[in-house]
Amino acid sequence: MPIDYAKLKNWSFPDVEHRYELRDTILYALGLGCGSDPTDEEELRFVYEDGIRVLPSMAVVLGYPGFWLKNPQTGVDWKKVLHGEQGVILHKPLPASGTVIGRTRVTEIIDKGAEKGALLFSEREVIDKQSGDRLCTLTSTTVLRGDGGFGGASGPAPEPHRLPERQPDISLDLPTLPQAGLIYRLSGDDNPLHADPAVAIAAGFPRPILHGLCTFGVAGRAVLRACCYNDQRRLESFRVRFSAPVFPGETIRTEIWRDGKTVSFRARVLERDIVVLNNGYATLAG
């Protein structure tokens, strides 16, 4: 049965109140591989409470509404859903602990046709409960592979950011841990695809894959280190398109182009020489 555009477009999300502690912030950073060299003072800034800094990509786990598309009332074939793109706009540095409110809404749904599926665009604002300050805005594109042809508008869809044609200015290799998926899931995404070998095999993978948002965070670490000297206040926005999964234990090479306050990037795994994140775009503070 085709999805109901009006119903899905106007889906009502309850506010999500999310209390997190310093240990949650450290656990998130450990899931991205921070601290793999415990003598690296730059890395310790994200995993040690003395003068701790918060990775900007941690925004993706704050105020998360859960996998709401699994609700039968949406009419979506949730087993054919893919995460297409993710973006973060930072309005203020994230606190190391606190209580936030997550407010999510669907901004648009584009019908690409029965054979191509549909694109669902959503936005989540994360607000500091105590001060009322808006901390960040998250944008997401979800590919509904089984729900095209419902009769909605066919576009236009936003064009992906084009990478420069020259060689990257910087390349930074960051290894992922063999147990990265088991650690990262403790930050809120407990999909068994990332932990249970039987579930992964049933989904067509030889073993559990890494969370896409963990890969997103690793690339964010690379941009932060290469372009911001690990100062989270210097990163204003960060967005990327997912193109292939990563297996825990693989090494992610982030290729970076710097043009003033604009950063372009992509990420590939060295072991298979395959691009896993593409069309990356970030903006830096002055």
| Residues recognised as catalytic | 189, 194, 209, 212
**Encoding tokens for residue 107?**
């901004």
Distance CA 275, CA 281 (A): 15
Q: DSSP label at 252?
A: E
Tell me the C-alpha distance between 10 and 97, whole Å: 32
CA dihedral 255, 246, 32, 283 (to 10 degrees): 40
Q: Which two tokens stand for residue 78?
A: 């949730």
Phi, psi of 214 (to 5 degrees): -70, -45
Q: Counting beta carbons within 10 angstroms of the beta carbon of residue 275, is it exposed (0 to 12), middle (13 to 18) or buried (19 or more)? A: middle
Q: Which residue blocks in the chain are alpha helix, DSSP H?
A: 5-9, 22-31, 41-44, 180-184, 197-202, 212-228
Q: How far apart are CA 215 and CA 245, in angstroms?
A: 8
Hey, what amino acid is at 141?
Answer: T
